[in-house]
Chains A and B, each alone.
Chain A
Amino acid sequence: MNANGTVTIDTVKDTVYRSCLLLDDENWDGFLELCHESLDYSITAFSPEINRDMIYFSHDYNGLKTLLEQLPKHNTDHSPLKRHVSVYTVDLDEKNGAASSVSSFVVYQNMLDGINSHLDSGENRLFLIGKYYDKFKLDSGRARLMERQARLDTRRLDKGSHFII
């Protein structure tokens, strides 16, 4: 790995970690700034119950933007989601200005609403586990997200969420 490759790998990792910090802060605009206009975002899972790959959520850049802008019009569980992420692998395709990464995530709900906030607020509950399968466009020293697949192992999703993962 040459020095430039190392720098690029760090850039990819930085984008993954920054994306999670921005999502943790519900800074949706900030997250979208890390994304390429051709973004394909999805939440998927395999169900052993029905023996089938499933798509739980899927949007392109504009669809995601519209949805995130509509969040204030929805009644929602206000408990913030907090992501703990480890980037496991980064593969570079510098010839084509592309990269991909695989990261493991654990998402906690930092309870605010809960079922009864008198009892639940302040508690953390494990919400989801899974992996990010990300693809990037490398351009001008940036790694912008072209594709994010949040692949869940969790299929018991209880109340679910209006927030993206």
Chain B
Amino acid sequence: MPARNHRQWNDVPGVLKPGEWVDSRIYSDPDIYEEELEKIFKKVWIPVCHESELPEPYDFRTSSIAREPVIVVRGTDNQIRAFLNVCPHRGMMIERRPSGSFKEAQPSGNPKHMTCMFHGWMFDMKGNCAFITRGEDGYQDRLKKENVGLRRLRCEVVFGGFVWVCLNDQVPSGVEEWAAGCFDCIREAVDTEPLEVFHYHKAIIGTNYKLWHDTNSEFYHDYMHYHNRVTGFNDEYFARKNVGFPNGHVNVNSFTVKYEEYEGFESRETLSFPGFPPNQWYMIDFFPGMNFNLRGSALRCDIVTPLGPDKVMIEFRGLGLKSDTPEERRIRIDHHNSIWGPFGRNLHEDLIGVAGQGSTMLPGSEPRRILHGRHEDEFIHDEIGMRHFYDEWGKWMDRSPSNPMEKYMAAAAE
């Protein structure tokens, strides 16, 4: 067919059904973005960091979910707890650094306390208010320490030591139940012994967070990774299946990667994870936008923080075993970096792809169809992973992904 005029361009292409495309306004509409923060990101479990980032009592790590600042601390009982990183006095952000230890004193406060630098209010590692400066002088008996503890948040450490936080006190299930079995495929590999983060970098990209999740959820874009495709792909690569789980999560089944056939790569058979055969590769696409990618000798985790309809921060972590020898760790790092590092082969291409999508779907751009309509018996070029995700998204938002101005209906394509 020749290039289309505006009417033809807006027609449904071919005989695709709703559910086999999404409307680009779900990636660009500011109102939909705000609604996503309220209806999804403030309601579900979000991984904010890994427990190895705060290994000792009094260690902390800061993050944010849906604009709400979050602080995660390890207590003297070795328990990890999460709080809003907000002083109950005047709303100052209590801790401004990304990580550190409260063992050391701060100019405004004593050691072993979280101290708000503004007026010196102090809190212990359980979020109790420990000290109000000139408390009785100012508040007499109208307000006491017991009245002004921090806002505690639901927090669990699960699935390889990731720290999960939920802003919703009434969240109906824990992380385990929310995951609905999607982690089972790598459970032994990540839960037999402690993991440790060895890599961290972040990207802020001018695109919608879901477009990054889409890229992680479809393998059809292996055409973009031309070099890998022409040198290393085999029949097994294409024989993997997407497996949907409740709550919008998706697995991509494993196969044995023959790294030695990729030009410029070496075999990775020597190093793996507990109970994980060498050179296997599982991916977990976790609703609403996190990705866990266990590929041979390294685990990668992407955590998205939406910053606007057309802006997302992605934090990239690489993990190995805490028990790694220096030589083993070095091998894991090299393997991780060759594909997933900021100067690696694939990540740069993936990020160019979603940045390019973001540039055509700016707020106010003309709505258009983004096709998710490939059916290939659920093998990796089947776009069932994205369709599964958007069906869940529609339920949470009560909007139809194919026409977000209408209420959710179960997609015909499913």
- Using CB atoms and an 8 Å cutoff, list the residues of chain A in contact with chain B: 43, 45, 47-52, 54-58, 63, 66-67, 70, 73-77, 113, 115-116, 155-165
Contacts and interface: CB of A to CB of B under 8 A. Distances in A.
Closest 7 CB pairs of A and B: A160-B342, A73-B227, A57-B343, A157-B342, A159-B351, A116-B359, A160-B348
B197 interface: yes
Nearest to A163: B343
Given A56-B343, A66-B264, A70-B263, A160 B99 contact: no
B144 interface: no
A118 B43 CA distance: 39
B200 A47 contact: yes
A158 B205 CA distance: 6
Contacts of A50: 50, 52-53, 99, 197, 200, 317
Contact of A159 (B227, B317, B341, B352): B352
A159 B344 contact: no
B346 to A, nearest CB: 9
B63 to A, nearest CB: 10
B6 interface: no
Given A55-B334, A55-B337, A160-B348, 15 more contacts: A48-B99, A55-B330, A56-B341, A57-B344, A73-B227, A74-B345, A76-B348, A113-B352, A115-B206, A115-B358, A157-B203, A157-B342, A158-B205, A159-B352, A159-B355
Contacts of B4: none
Nearest to A45: B201
B67 interface: no
B171 interface: no
A161 B348 contact: yes
Interface in B337-370: 337, 341-345, 347-349, 351-352, 355-356, 358-359
20 contacts: A45-B201, A48-B99, A49-B200, A50-B52, A51-B53, A52-B200, A54-B200, A55-B334, A56-B343, A58-B333, A70-B263, A77-B352, A115-B206, A115-B358, A156-B201, A158-B203, A159-B203, A160-B348, A160-B351, A161-B342
A165 B348 CA distance: 15
B294 to A, nearest CB: 19
A161 B343 contact: yes
B226 interface: yes
Interface in B188-213: 197-206
Given A49-B53, A115-B359, A161-B348, A70 B264 contact: yes
A56 B337 contact: yes
A113 B349 CA distance: 13
A75 to B, nearest CB: 5
A73 B99 CA distance: 39
Given A49-B99, A156-B204, A159-B205, A77 B348 contact: yes
A115 B355 CA distance: 6
A160 B350 CA distance: 10
B221 to A, nearest CB: 10
Contacts of B330: 55
B224 interface: yes
A43 B53 CA distance: 22
